[in-house]
Structure 1
Amino acid sequence: MINARQLEVLSTVIEVGTTARAAQLLNVSQPAISNMIRHTEDAIGFPLFKREHGRLIPTKEALHIAQEAQHLFMQQKRIDNMIGELKGGTVGRLSIVATPSIGHSILPRVLGLFMQTRPKLKLSIELGSIDEITRRLGSGRTDLGLSITPPRLSAVHVREIGDGHLMCICPPDHELALMERVSVTDLNHVAHISYAARTPLGQTIDNIFSDQGLERRFFCEVRHTATALEMVRNGLGVALVDSFALIGHQTTSIAIRPTKPALPIKMHGITSKLFPTSNIAMQFQSFLSDYLKQEGAKAVT
C-alpha cells in the first residue's frame, strides 16, 4: 500500500507539475522521484499520471488520493505543532499542590505571569500540608509541590527555589513599628499571633526562644501565615510571617520589620522520584525561581 512518503511525493508532483521541480522541493534527485511514482503505480495497480507536452497530468484517481492525503498532512502538522508546544511548555496540564502560605500569596501572582505566554495550559491547584504534598506526589496525582518545609521522604526530589525570611508584621501604629529590627523574644510582651508547636514554623520559633532560655507565649494560635497576616491587617496583634506571603500584597495597612536574629527560610520545589516530572513542571520551577531572584534583588535595592 502507499506510505506517507509516497503520498508526499505524489502530492508534490501534482502541485508543481514536474518531477524536476518536485525533486528540488523535496531535496532528492529527479530519478528518485520518477522511481517513487513508478513503484507507487506498481503497488496500487493503476497509473497516476499521463504525460502531455513534457508535463505530468494527474489522473482522476491520483487527484482523489492527493485530496484525501491533505487530511493526513494536516493532522500530521497538528501533531508536530502539539509536540512543539508541549516541548515549549505552552499546552498541556500542570498540577500543583502548595502549602497555604505559598498558595494564597505568591503562587497566583506568578501563575498569572507564567500563563501570559501559555493560554492553552490547563491548571490544577490544590492547597495542602507537606504530608499531603508527598502523598499526592507518591501516587502520581500531582506534578509539583511547593513548600517552605522540605519533606523527609526519600521518594521525592527536593530543589531549593528561592530564599526568604520570617518577618515581623504589626499595625503601623504599633510600638514594634518604631523599631528598626524586632527581637523575636520581644513578641512575648505584646499580643502575639503565632503557630502551634507541632507546626514547622512553630518549632522554628520555639527554638529561638529555647536558645534564650524562654518559652514562647502567644494569645492566638493559627496554623497558616495567611491567617496570621489577615489578623494583623485587622489590628488583632503582631505575627511572624514568611516574606513569600508578602510579595505582591498591599502592605500599607501593616508595618514590616526584619527580626533579630534573622530567620532565613527557603521555598522548595518537590517532585516525585516514582513518576517522571513533566516538562511544564520543570519550566514553572525555573520561572518561579527566576521571579524570586528578581523580587529578592528589588528588596535589596
Structure 2
Amino acid sequence: MISARQLEVLSTVIEVGTTARAAELLAVSQPAISNMIRHTEDLVGFPLFMREHGRLTPTKEALHIAQEAQHLFMQQKRIDNIIDELRGGTVGRLSIIATPSVGHGVLPRVLSQFLKTRPKLQLSIELGSMDEIIRKLGSGRVDLGLSITPPRHSAVSVREIANGQLMCACPADHELALQDVISISSLNHVSHISYAARTPLGQAIDTLFSERGLERRYFCEVRHTATALEMVRNGLGVALVDSFAVIGSHGDTIAVRQTRPSLPLKLHGLTSNMFPTTNLTMQFQRFLSDYLKSHDGHAGTDGADTGSL
C-alpha cells in the first residue's frame, strides 16, 4: 500500500518536474527522492515516470494517482486545521450547568468575551441546584459545573476559580446607599430581602449574624440571588448578594456597597471524576478565572453606582 509520504513525493516531483527541486522543497536529499520513486513503482507494479535523457515525464497512471491524491491532501489539511482549532479551543461543544446566581450573573458576560475568538463554538447552558449539577456531571451530560458552594462528593473534582465577597445591593436612592460600607446590623432596620435558612447562602448569612449576637430579620424570602437583585431594582428593599452577580451590572438603579464584617466567597469550577475533562473545559475555566481577576473590585461597573468598591 502506498503511504501518504510516497504520494506527497510523487505529487511534488510531478508538480516541479525534477527530483532535485522536489528534494529541496521536501527538505530531503535527491537520492532519497529517487529511491522513494523507485520503491513506489515496485509497490504499484508499473512505471510512474518515463526516463529520457535524464528527465522524468510522468505517465498517465502517475498523473491519475496524483490527481486523486489531492483529495487526500485536502482532507489531511482539514484534519490538521480541526486539530489546531481543538487545541486552541476555537471549535467544539462546551456544556455548562451553573447555579442561578452564577448563570444569571457573570456567566453570560464571560461567555460573550470567550466567544469573540471562538465563533464556531457550540454551547449548552443550564441552571440547576447542586444536586442537579452533581447528577449531570456524574452522568457525563455536562462538561463543567459552576457554583459558589463547593460540593462534597467523590464523583466531582472542585477547583477554586476566583475569590469574591458578599455585597449589599440597595436602590440607588436608598438611605443605605449614602454609606460607603454597610454594617449588616443595619439590614435588620430596613426592608431586607434575604434567603431561606436552608439555602447555603442563607446559612452563611445566619452564621455572620449569630457571630454578632444578632438574629437575621427580613420581610421577603427568596431562593436565588437573581430574584433578590430584581426586587432591589424595583425598589422593594435591600439584599446581600455575591459579588459575582453584580460584575458589569448596567444601569443606575442599584447601589452596591461593601459590608462590615466582610464575608469572603469563592467561585468553584466542578468537573466529573468519571469522565476526562476536555481541553476546551480547562481553557474556559482559565478564561473565567482571568476575567474575574481582571474585574476584582469592579462589581457593578458600566454605569451602576459602586461606592467605594
Task: Report the TM-score range of the alignment, normalised by the length of the smaller protein.
Answer: over 0.9
Q: Which residue number in structure 1 is paired with residue 117 of structure 2?
A: 117
Q: Which residue number in structure 1 is paired with residue 302 of structure 2?
A: none
Q: Which residue number in structure 2 is paired with residue 89 of structure 1?
A: 89
**Equivalences for 1:51-200 in 2 at 5 Å?**
51-200=51-200
Q: What letter is aligned with 1:7?
A: L
Q: Cα distance, 1:131 vs. partner?
A: 1.7
Distance 1:132 1:251, change over 3 A: same
- Paired residues of 2:247 and 2:298 also in contact (CA < 8 A): no
Q: Which residue number in structure 2 is paired with residue 25 of structure 1?
A: 25
- Paired residues of 2:166 and 2:241 also in contact (CA < 8 A): yes
Q: Cα distance, 1:75 vs. partner?
A: 0.3
Gaps of 5+ in 1: none
Q: CA–CA distance in 1 between the matches of 2:288 and 2:119?
A: 18
Distance 1:270 1:185, change over 3 A: same
Q: Cα distance, 1:297 vs. partner?
A: 5.4
Aligned length: 301
Q: Percent identity?
A: 77
Matched, 1:276 2:287: no
Q: Which residue number in structure 2 is paired with residue 211 of structure 1?
A: 211
Q: What letter is aligned with 2:231?
A: M
Q: Which residue number in structure 1 is paired with residue 263 of structure 2?
A: 263
Q: CA–CA distance in 1 between the matches of 2:289 and 2:152?
A: 22
> What's the C-alpha RMSD, in Å, of the aligned pairs?
1.5
CA deviation vs aligned residue, 1:56-76 (integer Å, no higher than 9, x gap): 110111000000000001000
Q: CA–CA distance in 2 between the matches of 1:290 and 1:44?
A: 57
Q: CA–CA distance in 2 between the matches of 1:206 and 1:108?
A: 30
**Displaced runs of 4 or more, over 6 A:** none
Q: Which residue number in structure 1 is paired with residue 228 of structure 2?
A: 228
Q: CA–CA distance in 2 between the matches of 1:85 and 1:180?
A: 47
Q: Cα distance, 1:53 vs. partner?
A: 4.0
Q: CA–CA distance in 1 between the matches of 2:256 and 2:92?
A: 39
Gaps of 5+ in 2: 300-307
Q: CA–CA distance in 2 between the matches of 1:284 and 1:225?
A: 23
Q: What letter is aligned with 1:294?
A: S
SS at match of 2:295: helix
- Provide TM-score, normalisation by structure 1: 0.96
Q: What letter is aligned with 1:3?
A: S
SS at match of 1:124: strand
